[in-house]
């Protein structure tokens, strides 16, 4: 099965569980002893640039939609990247995402529709990589960090009230949220039909859960020339990324077609615990890769 039900129902539960129960801020890794100070979220003292003048319209009759990714990379560099698209393009991506899937893979139609409209975003990433003179692993890590640093948003295909009835933990999540409903870092309702955002929506709304993030990163990294796969699991109700790079920062990998794909957790940023090949549940995952499937390659 290639995750039609996974997108609609099962992704909802464990995605929250991985982000808020298995994340580094909530328990100590079984395989190593860490200084408690290291488990605190990184303090990102980001200097916000002065507001830029309004950009010129991309095309006649186009209302610009913009997105700014601000993050501290793993080498402690403060990075800012700006992206633009037309409102009509973003609306078309949303409409395409809401269509019933003609086939068994809910991610492919999102990739195929959005890829042509993310070419400029790919150019922005490539220019930043060239300007910073990053090698292959460093470049892939920076691309991942740009999305890891975006606050996690719980996403589901139901109304907030119905989600609370179906899943008691959602009500608890709503009570503990620091952010308002339907905002970045909050909880997004009625994302039909499978509770996953398209790559364009992920970039320009910055509201994304695990499979929304991995699908976006898969598209961008593929376009940049990386050998990358997306893994998903019904049993774990989670999605992660795998990247085949010459050298990783850890040794958590998924072997596929004779190659090692080093695992990336996309739902949080931590300077030591979310690098390529490093995963707090890595040893457990590597003992049960039979529970996972490659959904994009």
Query: Is residue 262 included in any domain, yes or no?
Result: no
State how far the Cα of 94 lies from the Cα of 197, in Å rounded to an integer: 8
Residue 203 lies in a domain: yes
User: Domain tally for the chain?
Assistant: 1
Number of H-type helices and E-type strands within the chain: 11, 9
CA 131/CA 137 separation, integer angstroms: 15
Convert 151-182 to b/e letters by CB count within 10 Å (16 or more is b): bbbbbbbbebeebbeebebbeebbeeeeeeee
Q: Residue 184 and residue 150: Cα distance in Å, rounded?
A: 8
Position 221 in a domain: yes
pTM, 2 dp: 0.83
Is residue 29 predicted with pLDDT exceeding 70?
no
In a domain, 295, yes or no: no
Give 203's strand partners: none
Residues 150-183 have pLDDT tens digits of 999 999 999 999 999 998 889 999 999 888 999 9
Inform me whether the pLDDT recorded for 215 exceeds 90.
yes
Distances (CA, A) of 96 to 111, 133, 166, 183, 285: 11, 37, 27, 22, 33
Give 7's DSSP letter.
Answer: I
Whether residue 111 lies inside any domain: the answer is yes
Q: How far is CA 65 from CA 15, 203, 206, 291, in A?
A: 28, 11, 12, 39
71-102: string of b/e by CB count within 10 Å (b at 16+)? bbbbeeeebebebbbbeebbebbeeebeeebe
* Residue 69 within a domain: yes
Q: Is the pLDDT of residue 34 over 90?
A: no
**pLDDT given at position 283:** 87
Pinpoint the alpha helices (H) of the chain.
Answer: 4-5, 11-20, 87-97, 108-114, 119-132, 136-148, 160-166, 168-176, 199-205, 210-223, 282-287
Instruction: Print the SS3 string covering 83-118.
Output: EEEEHHHHHHHHHHHCCCCCCCCCCHHHHHHHHHHH
123 part of a folded domain: yes
Write out the residue range of the structural domain in which residue 188 sits: 4-27+64-226
Share of the chain above pLDDT 70, in %: 80
CB neighbourhood size of 104 (10 A): 11
Q: Which residue has the higher pLDDT, 73 or 39?
A: 73
The answer to whether position 77 is within a domain reads yes
User: What is the three-class DSSP state of 157?
Assistant: coil
Question: How do residues 42-69 score in pLDDT, each as one tens digit?
Answer: 444 434 445 445 455 556 678 999 999 9
- Say whether 70 sits in a helix, a strand or coil: strand
**Over 80: is that where the pLDDT of 270 sits?**
yes
In this predicted model, what pLDDT tens digit does every residue of 218-268 receive, in sequence order?
Answer: 999 999 999 999 999 999 989 999 999 999 999 999 999 999 999 999 999
Alpha carbons 12 and 116: distance in angstroms, whole number: 29
């Amino acid at each position: 099965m290639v995750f039609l039900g996974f997108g609609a129902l099962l992704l909802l539960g464990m995605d929250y569980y991985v982000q808020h129960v298995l994340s580094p801020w909530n328990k100590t890794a079984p395989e190593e002893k860490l200084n408690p100070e290291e488990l605190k979220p990184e303090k990102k003292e980001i200097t916000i640039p002065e507001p830029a003048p309004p950009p010129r319209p991309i095309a006649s009759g186009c209302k610009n939609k913009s997105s700014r990714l601000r993050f501290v990379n793993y080498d402690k560099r403060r990075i800012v990247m700006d992206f633009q698209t037309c409102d009509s393009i973003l609306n078309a991506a949303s409409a395409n995402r809401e269509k019933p899937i003609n086939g068994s893979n809910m991610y492919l139609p999102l990739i195929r529709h959005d890829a042509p409209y993310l070419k400029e975003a790919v150019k922005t990433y490539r220019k930043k990589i060239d300007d910073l003179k990053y090698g292959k692993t460093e470049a892939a890590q920076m691309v991942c960090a740009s999305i890891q640093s975006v606050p996690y948003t719980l996403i589901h295909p139901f109304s907030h009230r119905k989600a609370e009835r179906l899943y008691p933990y959602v009500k608890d999540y709503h009570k503990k949220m620091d952010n308002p409903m339907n905002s970045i870092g909050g909880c997004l309702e009625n994302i039909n039909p499978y509770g996953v955002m398209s790559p364009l929506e992920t970039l320009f709304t910055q509201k994304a859960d695990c499979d929304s993030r991995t699908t976006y990163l898969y598209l961008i990294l593929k376009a940049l020339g990386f050998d990358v796969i997306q893994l998903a699991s019904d049993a774990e109700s989670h999605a992660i990324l795998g990247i085949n790079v010459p050298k990783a920062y850890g040794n958590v990998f998924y072997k596929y077609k004779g190659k090692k794909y080093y695992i990336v957790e996309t739902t949080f940023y931590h300077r030591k615990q979310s690098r390529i090949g490093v995963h707090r549940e890595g040893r457990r995952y590597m003992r049960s890769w039979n529970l996972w499937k490659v959904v994009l390659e």
